[in-house]
A and B are shown apart, each in its own frame.
Chain A
Amino acid sequence: MDLLPFFQWCYSTPIGEGIRNSTWLFPVIEAFHLLGLGLTAGAVLMVDLRLLGVGLRKQPVAQLWANTQPWLLGSVTLMFASGIPLFLSESIKCLYSFAFWVKMTSLLLVLIFTFTFLRRVTQMELTSDRPRLGRVTAIVSLVLWFGVAWGGRWIGFS
């Protein structure tokens, strides 16, 4: 499948062009993207650290999941709302960037993993403070999120 025409179309959208023609739009949108990243990390870490038995380990996992979910959804929305315009402004560069594809693959996997498997694990009545299933789940989630963060940072260096 040839993706070039689609990426070229993205590049030529008014939003992409507007961002490229402005000195300050890209940096400001990027700063919002960074804020979203930090907030996402906070919400993710609350649940993952708990599953690893090193966070708020006295609290039920299901409760922490429920408490942080609105913030996770909100921050992921902010990430998309800021990330898509950034992508439109430099989509052709992204097409040829290894880091971009690492990021998108990890992102897709981690979103599916979080809202299917991880969510199921948080709803189980886990008996011990640090059950093995929980630990493995948290590690997979952290590794995938790190793939997103690694790819994201390195798109800028390519």
Chain B
Amino acid sequence: MSFLAFFEQLSESPWSVALHESQIAYSIIESFHVWSLCLFFGMTVMFDLRLLGWTMRKVPVSEVIRRLQPWTIAGFVLMVISGTLLFYAIPLRSYQNLFFRTKMLLMLVAGLNVFIFHSRVFPGVAKWDADARPPKAARIAGALSLALWIGIIFSGRMIAYNWFDCDRQPQPWIINFLTSCVPTE
């Protein structure tokens, strides 16, 4: 079964329809998504700024990571739970939404950045833990994370708008290609 067919079927399931039609439930979940963003993005930004040497320059990097990580993870889990529910309420439209696709792609890259940082850069932290300005590799990881998350928030916010949606034709062929949209006419 193709993704398209799967999400089409999902969007017809009773729970998805109920969530989609319940204005109050949807609003509350969306609010949770924004509030957990404050926790997650707030923590991530502060850590990225520390990696760049732009704040908390006297606090060892390993201490910042150790003390902030539980909050960052908690925020991320809340974001994934509320985000999945938001997707579940509107599966087909989200799947074909240009901004949703951009967001997922950027999140993949952000995850890769975290993976590379933790496997390649952070193991050597003992050498530069107390440096006000960490080495270049750490600064690049921080700058990348910051840029990617700003992009993710931007595209996430834009999912709500239907400018490039499949049911709004005509669209340039490139848009329909990127959204896997096959106009019916």
Contact = CB atoms under 8 A, between A and B. Distances in A.
A157 to B, nearest CB: 5
A55 B68 contact: yes
Interface stretch (A61-69, A104-112, A124-132): A61-69
B25 to A, nearest CB: 12
Interface stretch (A6-14, A43-51, A85-93, A133-141): A43-51
A149 B37 CA distance: 11
Interface residues of A, number: 35
Contacts of A150: 31
Given A23-B163, A71-B55, A34 B34 contact: yes
Interface residues of B, number: 33
Contact of A55 (B57, B67, B153, B157): B67
Contact of A68 (B31, B55, B68, B150): B55
B59 interface: yes
A96 interface: no
Contacts of A27: 157-158, 160-161
A92 B37 CA distance: 29
Nearest to B45: A42
Interface of A: 23-24, 27, 30-31, 34-35, 37-46, 49, 55-59, 63-64, 67-68, 70-71, 146, 149-150, 153-154, 157
7 contacts: A34-B157, A37-B38, A38-B38, A38-B41, A42-B42, A55-B68, A149-B35
